[in-house]
Amino acid sequence: MDSSTASDIDQNGPTDIVRRYAGNSPFRAAEAHELVNENNPFRRSVRPDDLDWLDYGGKFDRADVLLLSGLLGHRMLRNIYDADLLFLPTGGARTPSGTDGNAFYTNENRVRGHQAGVVLENHLFSFLPGERRDHSESTVVSAVDHVGALFAERLDRPGRVFEVAAACRNRSEALTFALLQLTATTPAANAAVARNLVGDYDTVHPGLRGLLLADYSAWAASAEAYRTMLGGCGLLGEPTAYWQFYLSSSLARGNHLHLVSRSHERFGEFLGAWVYKRLDEAVTSAAYGQLVSDVFGADPAYFTGLGTDATELGELVKALLTPLADRFGPDIVRSFDNGFDDAHTLAGIWDEDLAVQLDWADRLDEYKEKAEKLHYKLESEKIEVDLETFVESSEETSTTHVHDDHRLVVIEVGQMHFWNNVGKMIPMTEGDKLLIPATRLHGSVVLSGSCTYHQPVIPEDLLRTV
């Protein structure tokens, strides 16, 4: 952290720095017509009003990744990283895309982003060191062995998310949402790799540029297959088209690779995170390919190009680490192991988060029944809980978000559309109720002239009774 940034944080406080960054116009709250973000890669709603009561200076634990502060924090951090990259206004300069693009790339936004980025990185990733293995005896051989063992373990079970998606009653909706998360992680991870193609490091590691270039070239060559696969599943290939549906855990995975590729003092961690990216693509490609083919009849060619095996990965680790270990000793291997472990931790959080989201969305009828039972208990037993009431006007839109606690939505007057996936509008009218568990992504828009609804907060012990 440079001295001017540290001084600004000391004077203004970390959360104020973040709020100031989020005030840029492309990050304003979403409007009713912006559920899918076509033709404008700069329009990235953050939900900035909620920052008035969030804290980015306190402790951040593993479980906090899925809370509202984690979601909004990772939205902002992605915007900060993407300001280094080239996006073009789809409609041209004199369009909303051009206007938002000008605001996205201003010097003021970059300066504020640099300051907010320091705060967000320190906060959002601070829990990762506590999740790592003991690396005191790390060697190139032990790194190769661990990568191979984890590859075999994950190849046997690519992730719970694939089991849940395959078991969902509406597999097309489940797979659609899973693919939205892929659009949040894959382009970002590959862009992060590309950052380190430029530099003067051939004397220290003459083979590295070729290895990175081969990886990025494979991504560039697969761009048409990637877009074809998405199109075959009814989805767009435009950057950030589904911004509002990105889970915080999906954003976190891409953001982490940006963090370690951008921070050159963490070069070893970058290599570890990059190897994990390669491993993850290899062990999940068959499951993704099978689902897109079975559910949508889409061409799985993009996924069939991602395969590798344990031997190939082991050779990659040796090629990366051997020349560096000869020059820098075991510290570079320990750094590699840290980056690999951190990427694995974030992948595990993502797998569980997405699996739970898919299961909830697939069983909304059950959560409506739970809501009726909980509301009856609150009324009949006169149980007092925290309660928020909202009165909103026609087309007032709630940018997708999560709650840090379990809540009911109880419509008193009016109508709204509730959503937790692209293309799926869930009508709610007077008397309707729904249980929204903590950390589940959702949004809404008011359809009637006005809508009054209540959100009783449901304690954990009360939730367990239904």
Contact 266, 138 (CB under 8 A): no
Tell me 427's DSSP state: E
Query: The pTM is what?
Result: 0.96
Instruction: Read off the pLDDT of residues 71-95 as tens digits, 9 standing for 90 and up.
Output: 999 999 999 999 999 999 987 778 9
Tell me 447's DSSP state: -
Buried b (16+ CB within 10 A) or exposed e, 433-453: bbbbbbbbbbbbbbbbeebbb
Dihedral sign computed on CA atoms, order 262, 264, 265, 266: positive
- What is the pLDDT, as a whole number, of residue 258? 99
Find residue 428's DSSP bridge partners. Answer: 416
- What is the pLDDT, as a whole number, of residue 63? 87
Buried b (16+ CB within 10 A) or exposed e, 55-70: ebeeebeeebbbbbbb
- What is the pLDDT, as a whole number, of residue 59? 85
> At residue 256, does pLDDT exceed 60?
yes
Look-up of token digits 């406080």: 13
Residues 6+ apart with CB under 8 A from 96: 40, 43
What is the C-alpha separation between 56 and 18, in angstroms, rounded?
Answer: 8
Instruction: Read off the pLDDT of residues 311-347 as tens digits, 9 standing for 90 and up.
Output: 999 999 999 999 999 999 999 999 999 999 999 999 9
What is the C-alpha separation between 49 and 27, in angstroms, rounded?
Answer: 11
Per-residue pLDDT band for 232 (boundaries 50, 70, 90) equals: very high
What residue ranges define each of the domains in the chain, with the CATH number in brackets?
Answer: 3-124 (no CATH), 137-362 (1.20.910.10), 365-463 (2.60.120.10)
Instruction: Read off the pLDDT of residues 346-359 as tens digits, 9 standing for 90 and up.
Output: 999 999 999 999 99
CA 32 centroid distance within chain: 23
Through-space distance between the first and last CA atoms of the chain, rounded to whole angstroms: 49
Buried b (16+ CB within 10 A) or exposed e, 232-262: bbebbebbbbbbbbbbbbbbbbbbbbbbbbb
Between helices 107-124 and 248-262, what is the axis angle to 10°?
110
Q: Which amino acid is at 272?
A: G
Contact 334, 120 (CB under 8 A): no
